[in-house]
Amino acid sequence: MEKTLKRIIIADDHAVVRTGMQLILDETDDMKICDEVSNGNELIDKLRISSFDLVILDIFMPGKDAMDVLKEIHLFWPHLPVVIFSMNPDDVYAVRMIKNGASAYINKETDPKQIIEILRTVLSGKKFFTQPQSAMLAELVIEPEKKASGTSLHETLSDREFQIFFMMASGLKKSQIAQKLALSKHTIGNHRTNIMHKMNFSTNSELTRYAIQHGIVK
């Protein structure tokens, strides 16, 4: 009996990534990239008019940010699994995405065979976590009191603040962050002020040093 193909949509602003994923899944007989978009706004528009079994979502795209897209999908299509696809291997960011509804967080350098198995795992209704991600999630669930008493500074940030904090620590300028998140430079400036206040930093170099020490950026 012929297998039913699982319909997948990929959202990534790099055509080479979309094409690469298409080629990877062309080797399977149970799932297929049925549509592709280059930003979060286009993705939401597609989801409103077509049905899919899984979303592959790039973490940094023009327009609507991945975190906002993930939250919107989780709100309006709660049973639609989302796999985050990122060049950044950072598990701290991964846990943020998983807490907001992602079923898996895959590094773009992951072996194609493993990508296929992760997607199959998610399509079966399960979630996929790496060992470091599982350990961090377990800490949040098993040791909440200990976690609350020893909260790291970056954990006091909202999701949006953490996004901007991560981009700042990665070396992006205010104008670049504004462009990526489709926000004004004034808004980014306000977020930066809040971040620096919450984390008790005076300079970007202090912020970057903290991010490196805590493994948030490499």
Per residue in 26-75, pLDDT tens? 999 999 999 999 999 999 999 999 999 999 999 877 777 788 899 999 99
What CATH topology corresponds to 151-213?
Arc Repressor Mutant, subunit A (1.10.10)
Taking CA atoms, 60 is separated from 23, 24, 50, in Å, by 22, 22, 23
Question: 202 — phi, psi (to 5°)?
Answer: -110, -25
Q: What percent of the chain has pLDDT over 70?
A: 90
Residue 156: count other Cβ atoms within 10 Å of its Cβ: 12
Residue 133: count other Cβ atoms within 10 Å of its Cβ: 19
Cβ atoms of residues 168 and 207 within 8 Å: yes
Cβ atoms of residues 30 and 41 within 8 Å: no
What does the pLDDT read at residue 151? 62
Long-range contacts of 125-128 (CB under 8 A, 24+ apart): 127/98, 127/103, 128/103, 128/104
Distance CA 99, CA 176 (A): 26
Residue-wise pLDDT for 89-111, tens only, equals 666 778 888 888 999 998 888 89
| Domain boundary assignment for the chain | 6-137, 151-213
> What CATH architecture applies to the domain 6-137?
3-Layer(aba) Sandwich (3.40)
Q: What angle do CA 179, 184, 188 make, to 5 degrees?
A: 90
Cβ atoms of residues 81 and 103 within 8 Å: yes
